[in-house]
Amino acid sequence: MKIKKGDTVLVISGKDKGKTGKVLKAFPREFRVIVENVNLRKKHMRRRGPQHQGGIIEFPAPVHVSNLKLICPKCKNPTRVGYAFEGEVKFRRCKRCNAKFK
Ligand SMILES: [Zn+2]
């Protein structure tokens, strides 16, 4: 999967289209990631003791990677990602500025 935890991504479809955020968690097997402040869902929680306040909790739900574009850490543009090899080491490569990154 071309998007990893810690990446900054742009949302290109859905109700959060145009938003950017950091990837908080990745689920490579499902091709989904959780992006901060994107695809927020509300959950109604019952109060469970003094530590668990209850009420309505907002949390980001996983988004399919096809709805996202990586923002290149170097040129700061939304880009497609390619791969590059340096010997045995595989890097991701920005298709706009050719920057290589892990
Ligand atoms: Zn770039």
State which residues have CB under 5 angstroms from ligand 1, the bound ion.
72, 74-75, 94, 96-97, 99
Q: How far is the CA of 77 from the centre of ligand 1 (A)?
A: 6
| Domain topology for 1-71 | SH3 type barrels. (2.30.30)
What pairs with residue 48 in β-bridges? Answer: 52
Please provide the average confidence, as pLDDT, over all residues in the chain: 94
The widest CA-to-CA distance across the chain, in whole angstroms, is 56
The model carries a pTM of 0.86
Query: Quick one: pLDDT at residue 47?
Result: 85
Q: Tens of pLDDT along 9-57?
A: 999 999 999 999 999 999 999 999 999 999 999 999 888 888 878 899 9
The residues spanned by each domain of the chain are: 1-71, 78-102
> What is the rounded distance in angstroms from the CA atom of residue 36 to the CA atom of residue 27?
15
**CA distance between the termini of the chain:** 12
**Buried b / exposed e along 14-41 (16+ C-beta atoms within 10 A):** eebeebbbebeebeeeeebbbbeebbee
